[in-house]
Amino acid sequence: MKTEIYNVEGIEIEVERTSKDDTEAERRKMAYAFKMIREQSGMNRKDFSDWLGIPYRTMQEWELGRRVMPEYVLRLIAYKVLNEKRKGAFDHENS
């Protein structure tokens, strides 16, 4: 299995390499990237959706790859998580 590094706003995510024209593979890639970003925060789905102000069902559908998340939304969420990590906002939640 070949992998590639998918960099979303400074968060590196290793994913299985896919062809650009494979829509289903792209959907899985986005879903996996979103899950990895959420896991970087240390939050469960419910807490993460509340923190972002996104309906739980929408976030769940994105993470499971049932709905396509716009890439700019993924980048904005990654940016927010990265900034909060830099501030140490998640440190107390993981202890």
Q: Which CATH architecture has domain 3-87?
A: Orthogonal Bundle (1.10)
Q: Global pTM? A: 0.72
Per-residue pLDDT at 14: 65
Tell me how far apart the alpha carbons of residues 33 and 14 are, in angstroms, rounded to a whole number: 8
Under a CB-based contact definition with an 8 Å cutoff, are residues 93 and 42 in contact? yes
Q: Does residue 92 surpass a pLDDT of 60?
A: no
pLDDT at 60: 93
Q: Provide the pLDDT confidence category of residue 73 given band limits of 50, 70 and 90.
A: very high
- Each residue's pLDDT tens digit, 6-64: 666 666 666 665 555 577 777 888 898 899 999 989 999 999 999 999 999 999 999 99
H/E run at residue 31 = helix 23-41
